[in-house]
A and B are shown apart, each in its own frame.
Chain A
Amino acid sequence: MEIREDKIEEMIARDGMYVCTTSGISMKPMLRDRRDTVVITPVSGRLKKYDVALYRYKGKYLLHRVVKVLPDSYVFCGDNCITCETGVTDDDVIGVLSEVWRGEKKLNLDGAGYKLYYRCRTATFGMRRACRRLMGKLKSLIKR
Protein backbone atom coordinates (compact mmCIF):
# COMPACT_ATOMS: atom_id res chain seq x y z
CA MET A 1 0.00 0.00 0.00
CA GLU A 2 1.41 3.34 -1.00
CA ILE A 3 -0.07 6.53 0.40
CA ARG A 4 0.99 9.51 -1.62
CA GLU A 5 0.40 13.18 -1.19
CA ASP A 6 3.35 14.35 -3.27
CA LYS A 7 3.16 17.04 -5.88
CA ILE A 8 0.87 16.09 -8.74
CA GLU A 9 3.73 16.28 -11.24
CA GLU A 10 5.75 13.83 -9.14
CA MET A 11 2.87 11.37 -8.88
CA ILE A 12 2.25 11.42 -12.63
CA ALA A 13 5.95 10.99 -13.38
CA ARG A 14 6.25 8.10 -10.93
CA ASP A 15 2.97 6.29 -11.47
CA GLY A 16 2.02 7.31 -14.99
CA MET A 17 -1.26 8.65 -13.69
CA TYR A 18 -2.87 10.82 -11.07
CA VAL A 19 -6.27 10.03 -9.62
CA CYS A 20 -8.22 12.57 -7.61
CA THR A 21 -11.60 14.05 -6.85
CA THR A 22 -12.26 17.34 -8.58
CA SER A 23 -13.10 20.46 -6.63
CA GLY A 24 -14.84 23.57 -7.89
CA ILE A 25 -17.67 24.24 -10.32
CA SER A 26 -15.75 25.46 -13.35
CA MET A 27 -16.30 22.19 -15.25
CA LYS A 28 -19.95 21.70 -14.33
CA PRO A 29 -22.07 19.93 -15.46
CA MET A 30 -19.47 17.38 -16.54
CA LEU A 31 -17.49 17.42 -13.28
CA ARG A 32 -19.24 18.01 -9.99
CA ASP A 33 -17.62 19.60 -6.95
CA ARG A 34 -15.95 16.97 -4.75
CA ARG A 35 -18.06 14.17 -6.18
CA ASP A 36 -16.45 12.97 -9.40
CA THR A 37 -13.12 11.21 -9.74
CA VAL A 38 -10.76 11.93 -12.60
CA VAL A 39 -7.72 10.12 -13.94
CA ILE A 40 -4.97 12.28 -15.38
CA THR A 41 -2.25 10.73 -17.53
CA PRO A 42 0.88 12.19 -19.16
CA VAL A 43 0.47 14.00 -22.45
CA SER A 44 2.06 12.59 -25.58
CA GLY A 45 2.49 15.25 -28.23
CA ARG A 46 0.35 18.34 -28.44
CA LEU A 47 -3.13 18.64 -27.06
CA LYS A 48 -6.09 18.73 -29.41
CA LYS A 49 -9.11 20.99 -29.36
CA TYR A 50 -11.71 19.73 -26.85
CA ASP A 51 -9.13 17.80 -24.79
CA VAL A 52 -9.49 18.40 -21.06
CA ALA A 53 -6.09 18.94 -19.49
CA LEU A 54 -4.54 19.67 -16.11
CA TYR A 55 -2.16 22.63 -16.18
CA ARG A 56 -0.56 25.28 -14.02
CA TYR A 57 -1.94 28.78 -14.39
CA LYS A 58 -1.00 31.71 -12.18
CA GLY A 59 0.09 29.45 -9.37
CA LYS A 60 -2.98 27.21 -9.47
CA TYR A 61 -3.77 23.80 -10.88
CA LEU A 62 -6.66 23.98 -13.35
CA LEU A 63 -8.50 21.25 -15.21
CA HIS A 64 -10.21 22.87 -18.18
CA ARG A 65 -10.97 22.23 -21.82
CA VAL A 66 -8.84 23.29 -24.78
CA VAL A 67 -10.95 25.64 -26.88
CA LYS A 68 -8.21 26.84 -29.20
CA VAL A 69 -4.86 25.39 -30.25
CA LEU A 70 -2.31 28.02 -31.25
CA PRO A 71 1.17 27.36 -32.68
CA ASP A 72 2.90 28.15 -29.38
CA SER A 73 0.16 27.95 -26.76
CA TYR A 74 -3.43 27.00 -25.93
CA VAL A 75 -6.60 28.77 -24.91
CA PHE A 76 -8.46 26.93 -22.15
CA CYS A 77 -11.94 27.41 -20.79
CA GLY A 78 -13.95 25.61 -18.14
CA ASP A 79 -17.28 24.24 -19.35
CA ASN A 80 -19.03 26.46 -16.80
CA CYS A 81 -16.80 29.52 -17.22
CA ILE A 82 -17.28 32.74 -19.12
CA THR A 83 -13.61 33.70 -19.18
CA CYS A 84 -10.74 31.81 -20.78
CA GLU A 85 -7.10 31.25 -19.86
CA THR A 86 -4.72 32.27 -22.62
CA GLY A 87 -1.00 31.81 -23.14
CA VAL A 88 -0.88 28.33 -21.62
CA THR A 89 2.14 26.57 -23.10
CA ASP A 90 3.03 22.90 -23.39
CA ASP A 91 5.41 23.38 -20.46
CA ASP A 92 2.48 24.38 -18.27
CA VAL A 93 0.48 21.27 -19.15
CA ILE A 94 0.81 18.47 -16.61
CA GLY A 95 -1.49 15.83 -18.01
CA VAL A 96 -4.65 15.05 -19.90
CA LEU A 97 -7.98 13.73 -18.66
CA SER A 98 -8.27 10.02 -19.44
CA GLU A 99 -11.11 8.75 -17.29
CA VAL A 100 -14.02 10.20 -15.34
CA TRP A 101 -15.90 8.30 -12.64
CA ARG A 102 -19.34 9.35 -11.40
CA GLY A 103 -19.79 7.17 -8.39
CA GLU A 104 -19.35 3.61 -9.62
CA LYS A 105 -20.01 4.59 -13.22
CA LYS A 106 -17.19 5.34 -15.63
CA LEU A 107 -18.10 7.93 -18.26
CA ASN A 108 -17.49 6.98 -21.87
CA LEU A 109 -15.21 9.73 -23.14
CA ASP A 110 -15.17 8.18 -26.62
CA GLY A 111 -18.94 8.03 -26.96
CA ALA A 112 -21.12 10.10 -29.26
CA GLY A 113 -22.97 11.58 -26.29
CA TYR A 114 -19.81 13.06 -24.82
CA LYS A 115 -18.71 14.44 -28.23
CA LEU A 116 -22.09 16.10 -28.65
CA TYR A 117 -21.82 17.53 -25.12
CA TYR A 118 -18.41 19.17 -25.55
CA ARG A 119 -19.16 20.50 -29.03
CA CYS A 120 -22.43 22.08 -27.85
CA ARG A 121 -20.78 23.42 -24.70
CA THR A 122 -17.99 25.05 -26.68
CA ALA A 123 -20.25 26.33 -29.45
CA THR A 124 -22.60 28.03 -27.00
CA PHE A 125 -19.80 29.73 -25.05
CA GLY A 126 -20.56 33.22 -26.43
CA MET A 127 -24.26 32.88 -25.74
CA ARG A 128 -23.66 31.67 -22.18
CA ARG A 129 -21.27 34.53 -21.52
CA ALA A 130 -23.77 37.09 -22.84
CA CYS A 131 -26.57 35.58 -20.71
CA ARG A 132 -24.38 35.48 -17.59
CA ARG A 133 -23.37 39.13 -18.04
CA LEU A 134 -26.97 40.17 -18.67
CA MET A 135 -28.09 38.37 -15.52
CA GLY A 136 -25.33 40.09 -13.57
CA LYS A 137 -26.46 43.51 -14.78
CA LEU A 138 -30.10 42.74 -14.01
CA LYS A 139 -29.17 41.65 -10.49
CA SER A 140 -27.21 44.84 -9.89
CA LEU A 141 -30.15 46.91 -11.17
CA ILE A 142 -32.55 45.08 -8.86
CA LYS A 143 -30.24 45.70 -5.89
CA ARG A 144 -30.33 49.45 -6.55
Chain B
Amino acid sequence: MKIKKGFVLRRVMGNYVVVAVGEASRSFRGMIKLNDTAAAVWKGIEKGLSTSEICDAICEEYDVERSVALADVEKVVSELTENGFITD
Protein backbone atom coordinates (compact mmCIF):
# COMPACT_ATOMS: atom_id res chain seq x y z
CA MET B 1 0.00 0.00 0.00
CA LYS B 2 1.60 3.26 -1.17
CA ILE B 3 0.56 6.83 -1.84
CA LYS B 4 0.39 7.42 -5.58
CA LYS B 5 3.38 9.36 -6.87
CA GLY B 6 2.71 13.07 -7.25
CA PHE B 7 0.45 13.67 -4.25
CA VAL B 8 1.71 15.39 -1.10
CA LEU B 9 0.16 16.24 2.25
CA ARG B 10 0.47 19.80 3.53
CA ARG B 11 -0.59 21.40 6.81
CA VAL B 12 -2.03 24.69 5.61
CA MET B 13 -3.70 27.28 7.84
CA GLY B 14 -4.65 24.62 10.36
CA ASN B 15 -6.00 22.21 7.72
CA TYR B 16 -4.56 19.08 6.20
CA VAL B 17 -4.67 19.36 2.43
CA VAL B 18 -3.40 17.03 -0.27
CA VAL B 19 -2.31 18.55 -3.55
CA ALA B 20 -0.85 17.19 -6.74
CA VAL B 21 2.69 18.10 -7.76
CA GLY B 22 4.71 17.38 -10.88
CA GLU B 23 3.01 15.48 -13.68
CA ALA B 24 0.07 14.59 -11.44
CA SER B 25 -0.84 18.30 -11.31
CA ARG B 26 -1.64 18.21 -15.05
CA SER B 27 -4.64 15.98 -14.47
CA PHE B 28 -5.64 16.92 -10.92
CA ARG B 29 -6.06 20.62 -10.13
CA GLY B 30 -8.25 20.35 -7.08
CA MET B 31 -7.43 19.94 -3.43
CA ILE B 32 -8.26 17.18 -1.00
CA LYS B 33 -9.11 18.23 2.52
CA LEU B 34 -8.37 15.61 5.14
CA ASN B 35 -9.53 15.48 8.73
CA ASP B 36 -7.08 14.49 11.48
CA THR B 37 -7.83 10.77 11.18
CA ALA B 38 -7.48 10.75 7.41
CA ALA B 39 -4.23 12.72 7.71
CA ALA B 40 -2.93 10.19 10.25
CA VAL B 41 -3.80 7.40 7.80
CA TRP B 42 -2.07 9.25 4.96
CA LYS B 43 1.09 9.76 7.06
CA GLY B 44 1.02 6.12 8.10
CA ILE B 45 0.81 4.95 4.50
CA GLU B 46 3.70 7.28 3.63
CA LYS B 47 5.74 5.57 6.36
CA GLY B 48 4.86 2.18 4.89
CA LEU B 49 2.67 1.08 7.80
CA SER B 50 -0.08 -1.51 7.45
CA THR B 51 -3.72 -0.77 8.27
CA SER B 52 -3.30 -2.47 11.64
CA GLU B 53 -0.13 -0.51 12.46
CA ILE B 54 -1.82 2.77 11.51
CA CYS B 55 -4.69 1.83 13.77
CA ASP B 56 -2.24 1.17 16.64
CA ALA B 57 -0.63 4.57 16.10
CA ILE B 58 -4.01 6.30 16.19
CA CYS B 59 -5.02 4.46 19.36
CA GLU B 60 -1.78 5.58 21.00
CA GLU B 61 -2.41 9.20 20.09
CA TYR B 62 -6.15 9.44 20.64
CA ASP B 63 -8.50 8.10 23.29
CA VAL B 64 -10.44 5.78 20.99
CA GLU B 65 -11.46 2.13 21.02
CA ARG B 66 -9.46 -0.03 18.67
CA SER B 67 -12.53 -1.34 16.86
CA VAL B 68 -13.74 2.22 16.14
CA ALA B 69 -10.27 3.33 15.02
CA LEU B 70 -9.90 0.29 12.76
CA ALA B 71 -13.26 0.96 11.11
CA ASP B 72 -12.26 4.59 10.52
CA VAL B 73 -8.87 3.63 9.09
CA GLU B 74 -10.40 1.06 6.77
CA LYS B 75 -12.99 3.58 5.59
CA VAL B 76 -10.31 6.18 4.80
CA VAL B 77 -8.11 3.62 3.05
CA SER B 78 -11.10 2.50 1.02
CA GLU B 79 -11.96 6.08 -0.02
CA LEU B 80 -8.36 6.87 -0.92
CA THR B 81 -8.11 3.68 -2.93
CA GLU B 82 -11.41 4.30 -4.73
CA ASN B 83 -10.23 7.76 -5.72
CA GLY B 84 -6.90 6.48 -6.97
CA PHE B 85 -4.60 7.98 -4.36
CA ILE B 86 -3.29 4.63 -3.15
CA THR B 87 -1.51 2.02 -5.20
CA ASP B 88 -0.42 -1.49 -4.20
Contacts and interface: CB of A to CB of B under 8 A. Distances in A.
B22 A1 contact: no
A101 B20 CA distance: 13
- Chain B interface main SS type: mixed
Interface string A41-81: 10000000000000000000000000000000000000000
A39 B21 contact: no
Contacts, number: 64
B47 interface: no
Given A1-B32, A4-B32, A17-B12, A34 B21 contact: yes
Contacts of B32: 1-4
A11 B29 CA distance: 12
Interface in B10-36: 10, 12-13, 15, 17, 19-23, 25-26, 28-35
Interface-central residue, B17, B22, B35, B83, by most chain A CB under 10 Å: B17
A6 B25 contact: no
Given A1-B38, A1-B76, A20-B19, A39 B12 contact: yes
Interface residues of A, number: 23
Contacts of A99: 12-13
B16 to A, nearest CB: 10
Given A1-B80, A3-B30, A19 B21 contact: no
Interface of A: 1-6, 11, 15-21, 23, 34-35, 37, 39, 41, 98-99, 101
Interface of B: 8, 10, 12-13, 15, 17, 19-23, 25-26, 28-35, 38, 76, 79-80, 83
18 contacts: A1-B33, A3-B30, A3-B83, A4-B30, A5-B28, A11-B30, A11-B31, A17-B12, A17-B13, A21-B22, A21-B25, A34-B23, A34-B25, A34-B26, A37-B8, A37-B19, A39-B13, A99-B12
